[in-house]
């Protein structure tokens, strides 16, 4: 069998393609990694946007609770104001040791609001967002709660 120039060129192209296989695989893997990173970034972006929308809604709920004259409370153990934690027990800031009924709306001057559950603990926490704090402070000052504002 005689080799023609075209055969030699085809063999050289085949050898070149085979030798570049690893580079092609690396390039494809790199492209896939970039696509995965973009996808993860877009997922985080969507999640952050959703969290921002939820925070805005919760802030509006908290402001509505302040407008409805929520009961100002403090941590039951320390008697001091603290950010609300789900299931924590709270007491009336006035120190009357009155029982808080189930469904009562409670708040603190830090911008937290919540409901009291059947066991007297806080649940359904809604916090005022940073941008709404001046509005919350104004609501506190307008109501009987204003005398407890710090």
Domain ranges of the chain: 5-56, 60-148
Can you tell me the mean pLDDT for 54-68?
A: 91
Residue 120: HSE in the Cβ half-sphere, 13 Å Cα cutoff: 11
Distance (Å, rounded) from C-alpha 43 to C-alpha 81? 37
Vertex 31: Cα angle to 29 and 36 (nearest 5): 95
pLDDT over threshold 60, residue 137: yes
Give the pLDDT confidence of 72-81 residue by residue, as tens digits.
Answer: 888 877 778 8
Distance (Å, rounded) from C-alpha 50 to C-alpha 46? 6
Q: Give pLDDT, residue 128.
A: 93
In this structure, the chain runs to a length of 150
Give every CB contact of residue 94 below 8 A, 6+ residues apart in sequence: 72, 148
Can you tell me the mean pLDDT for 85-108?
A: 80
pLDDT over threshold 60, residue 46: yes
Distance (Å, rounded) from C-alpha 75 to C-alpha 92? 9
Give every CB contact of residue 101 below 8 A, 6+ residues apart in sequence: 116
Mutual orientation of helices 133-142 and 21-67 as an angle, nearest 10°?
A: 10
């Amino acid at each position: 069998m005689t080799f023609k120039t075209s055969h030699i060129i085809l063999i050289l192209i085949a050898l070149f393609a085979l030798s570049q296989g690893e580079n092609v695989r690396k390039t494809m893997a790199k492209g896939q990694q970039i696509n995965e990173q973009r996808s993860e970034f877009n997922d985080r972006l969507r999640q952050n946007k959703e969290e921002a929308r939820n925070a805005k809604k919760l802030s509006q709920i908290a402001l509505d609770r302040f407008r409805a004259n929520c009961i100002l409370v403090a941590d039951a153990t320390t008697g001091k104001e603290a950010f609300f934690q789900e299931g924590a027990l709270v007491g009336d800031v006035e120190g009357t040791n009155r029982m808080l009924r189930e469904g009562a709306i409670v708040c603190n001057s830090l911008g937290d609001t919540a409901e009291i559950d059947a066991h007297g603990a806080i649940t359904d926490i809604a916090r005022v967002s940073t941008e709404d704090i001046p509005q919350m402070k104004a609501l506190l000052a307008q109501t009987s709660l204003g005398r407890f504002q710090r």
